[in-house]
């Protein structure tokens, strides 16, 4: 049985100097599958940064307590699952994921 969850992310750009660790590439886990992305971006051309709100519709293929996302050079400040469940954000230092 598949479960659909709405995932909200608020993103802020950061400079490459502020990122931690190496920038390795890997595939995300297969237990969570993105179905659709909606994104609103506000850019600051003077500071060369942006702020964005992203809504990701996902399909849960198997039970999990974590959702891993690529986050290279992004500062994710808030995450909400299914519109009402606040979730914690953990950065994987030495990686490009949260």
Residue 93 lies in a domain: no
Within-domain flag for 95: no
SS (H, E, C) the chain: CCEEEEEEEEEEECCHHHCCCCCCCCCCCCCEEEEEEEEEEEEECCCCEEEEEEEEEEEECCCCCCCCCECCCEEEEEEEECCCEECCCCCCCCCCEC
Domain count, the chain: 1
Q: What is the pTM of this model?
A: 0.59
Q: How does pLDDT run across 21-35, given as a tens digit for each residue?
A: 455 556 677 888 888
pLDDT > 60? residue 65? yes
Assigned domain for 98 exists:
no
Average pLDDT over residues 36-53: 88
Find the domain containing 76 and state its range.
3-86
Average pLDDT of the segment spanning 38-50: 88
């Amino acid at each position: 049985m598949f479960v659909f969850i709405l995932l909200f992310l608020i993103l802020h750009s950061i400079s490459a100097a502020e990122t931690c660790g190496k920038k390795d590439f890997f595939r995300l886990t297969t237990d969570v599958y993105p179905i659709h992305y909606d994104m609103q971006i506000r850019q600051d051309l003077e500071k060369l940064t942006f702020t964005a709100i992203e809504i990701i519709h996902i399909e849960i293929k198997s039970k999990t307590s974590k959702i891993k996302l690529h986050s290279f050079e992004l500062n994710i400040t808030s995450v909400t699952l299914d519109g009402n469940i606040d979730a914690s954000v953990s950065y994987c230092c030495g990686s490009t994921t949260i």
